[in-house]
Amino acid sequence: MSKSKVHPHLYAGREVVGERTFESRNSSDTSDVLGVFYEATKEQVQGAARAARAAAKAWAKTPAPVRGQVIGLVGQAIEREKEPLARLITREMGKTLKEARGDVQEAIDTCYFFQSEGRRLYGQTVPSEMPRKDLMTYRRPLGVVGIVTAGNFPVAVPSWKIIPALVTGNTIVWKPSEDVPACSYAFAKILLGAGLPAGVFNVVFGGGKDAAGQYVIELMDDGLVDKLAFTGSSAVGRYVGEVAGRNLQHPTLELGGKNPLVVMRDADLDNAVQGAVFSAFATGGQRCTSAGNVIVDAPVYDEFKKRYLAAVEKIRIGDPLKTEDVLYGPFINERFFRRWEQQYAWGEADGATLLYGKGRITDDSRPSGFVGDPNAGFYGWPTVWEGVKPGMRLFQEEIFGPTINLVKVDGIEEAITTANAVAYGLSSSIYTNNREWAYAFKDEIQAGMTSINNTTNGAEAHMPFGGVKASGNGTRESGIWVLDSYTYWHGVNDDISGKLQLAQMDTAYVEPQAAVSVAELF
């Protein structure tokens, strides 16, 4: 990507320029500018929404199987560009190539799943209680959808919203994260090049608060969007909910998490250690589904801690483009690092015990597994705390970095109670071979997703993704469940009787007969 070119907004089938710009830099080498992007004004965001509105009727009337076929072409286009797109993700966002390829593959899987859903946007025919009358239901598109996404999954998470919204007949205004504009621009160009009509898919770039992201949210007040889909913090999610509420809209909110991973006394500890390391430190902990608290049953606590710390000390960290076997790379940018760094003050104030970790990795302070130049990006030590209890800030707040808390409990009941003692409810995991304990956990955990003997991470395109409590508002991404987020049900009564028929009032119900007493028969 040229360092000198300023990349435009993409809406109404045109490239739209502006005045103010911002840069995107390589997370592993901050001296490497990936591209320059225009910052959208409020008027430009509104212009993109008007372009989407102008295209909405024709796209909604395009037969759903044809829309699905276009989505299939998008999937093929992404598949062709999988490797360069994955490398761009690694370069800009900092996750490993293995994870970046998975990020792109999730979008491919989403396209192929929803391609077929274009032939399965089923309604129903329902028997009427009146003669010569048919009842039918149809899924209808909502209209214009505003989408605001985060930077940690630059391709997968936007695809969860964009693809089902398109296949159900909606048009889109997307404001991707300002942390990954290069990945987002490349992804948008792939979509637009696959055959979407002008105005159906529109992209504006810029920041969040008091910038393009806020302007997209305000499109609800402007009457220019019919639905808002958001991935980000719970605090901003509440603001989105407030704006949507006064406009009688139901937003899609995919928010944060403080996800519990429980290790019971009968668990396979080698498997549990491996899963807990990945859950905590994959993507440098920059996942909404990263484990926040590892809750360990007392009889195996000491042995688990010993094995876990040994595994953490062996973690390889570095530039993932230069060294493919690292577990994680740098923070997305300095802003994410500074937020994560605050945890050390929290832990000290709460009286927690720091078992491992020293803040930023530098020339003078680096773990044995670090490779490369620590000054080229913002790298964090893998950090492990113990003595963490439910009332502590470390226990409650999403840290969004390579940090984990070890929490000792005694038995399955205390494990479940402790796991539920956070405001969030996104993902969860338990390691046990006791089916009663596994059943109790999946039955009582307050979370939208649960794994048994697997990590807190991971999503598949045909399963629902989302949380409860502060992690979301009950909406779901992916699978057939997401269709309800981008359609409304239209009920149709078709009466060919040629006369007024009033349900309930004119229904020819059978009159009840006199009761039969079996006792009187014999």
Residues tagged active-site: 254, 288
293 bridge partner residues: 260, 405
**Can you tell me the distance from the alpha carbon of 256 to that of 427, in angstroms, rounded to the nearest whole number?**
10
Q: Report residue 292 as tokens.
A: 């926040």
Which residue is listed with tokens 């709460």? Answer: 350
DSSP 434: -
**Can you tell me the distance from the alpha carbon of 19 to that of 38, in angstroms, rounded to the nearest whole number?**
7
15 bridge partner residues: 10
CB 67, CB 132: distance < 8 Å: no
DSSP 283: G
Report how far apart, in Å, the C-alpha atoms of 475 and of each of 150, 230, 394, 430, 471 are: 17, 11, 28, 24, 10
DSSP 328: B
Report how far apart, in Å, the C-alpha atoms of 144 and of each of 173, 219, 300, 456 are: 8, 10, 53, 33
**Can you tell me the distance from the alpha carbon of 491 to that of 486, in angstroms, rounded to the nearest whole number?**
17
CA atoms within 13 Å, Cβ hemisphere of 511: 2
Residues whose CB falls within 8 Å of the CB of residue 423, separated by 6 or more in sequence, listed in order: 234, 258, 396, 469, 470
Q: Beta strands 124-127 and 353-356: pairing type?
A: unpaired
**Can you tell me the distance from the alpha carbon of 482 to that of 163, in angstroms, rounded to the nearest whole number?**
10
**Can you tell me the distance from the alpha carbon of 388 to that of 401, in angstroms, rounded to the nearest whole number?**
17
Q: What are phi and psi of 221, to 5 degrees?
A: -70, -30
AA identity, residue 411: G
